[in-house]
């Protein structure tokens, strides 16, 4: 990933479809939205770019169709927790909306979007908010402290995969 992409990391506030505030980070890559989505639609790559995901146990054959799931483990071995992430909505190559579970921590609403950027580049936005379990009670400022650094690193990893495959 070019060092200039690191300077493009940003953190803002957005809303989920129900109007709840969410933490959003973004990064611009030197690839197309289609290139980004090719990585997103391969559920077996999820643990390579999502910080905290440690092992993919199974990916539904219909991934990333709505209702399909990635069955994953989170955390370091031997303290892993088995759970799943489900597709809520998808609009290839522009958006992928997910519900991630990591009990007993809770659940999270996640949206990945792509937007054309100058010079044939693509901006990737990753929005997230805790929406179930104990985490949903945290104010947005506290969620930002936990989510922004983690999701910035996830975007860096995703950018490496996208640009390594298609750059």
Read off the pLDDT band of 6 (50, 70, 90): very low
pLDDT attached to residue 76: 87
Lowest pLDDT segment from 57-66, 98-107, 152-161: 98-107
| 14 token code pair | 């957005």
Tokens 């690191």 correspond to what residue? Answer: 6
pLDDT attached to residue 159: 96
Read off the pLDDT band of 5 (50, 70, 90): very low
- The pLDDT of residue 64 is above 80: yes
C-alpha 41/C-alpha 30 separation (Å) is 19
| Distance, CA of 4 to chain centre | 21
pLDDT tens, residue by residue, 35-48:
999 999 999 999 99
- The pLDDT of residue 7 is above 50: no
Backbone CA torsion sign across 5, 149, 155, 114: negative
Tell me what percent of the chain is helix, strand and coil, each rounded to the nearest 5: 30, 45, 25
pTM for this prediction: 0.90
3-state secondary structure of 145: helix
Which of 129, 132, 131 lies closest to 144, judged by CA? 129
């Amino acid at each position: 990933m070019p060092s200039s992409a690191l300077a493009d990391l940003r953190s803002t506030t957005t809303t989920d479809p129900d109007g709840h505030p969410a933490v959003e980070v973004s990064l611009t890559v030197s690839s197309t939205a289609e290139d980004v989505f090719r990585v997103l639609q391969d559920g077996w790559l999820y643990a390579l770019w999502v910080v905290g995901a440690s092992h993919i146990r199974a990916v539904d054959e219909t991934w990333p169709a709505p209702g399909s799931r990635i069955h994953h483990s989170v955390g370091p071995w031997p303290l892993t927790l088995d759970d799943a992430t489900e597709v809520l909505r998808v609009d290839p190559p522009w958006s992928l909306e997910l519900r991630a579970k990591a009990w007993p921590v809770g659940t999270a609403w996640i949206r990945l979007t792509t937007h054309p950027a100058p010079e044939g580049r693509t901006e990737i936005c990753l929005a997230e908010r805790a929406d179930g379990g104990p985490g949903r009670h945290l104010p947005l400022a506290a969620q930002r402290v936990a989510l922004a650094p983690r999701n910035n690193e996830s975007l860096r990893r995703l950018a490496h995969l996208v640009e390594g495959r298609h750059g």
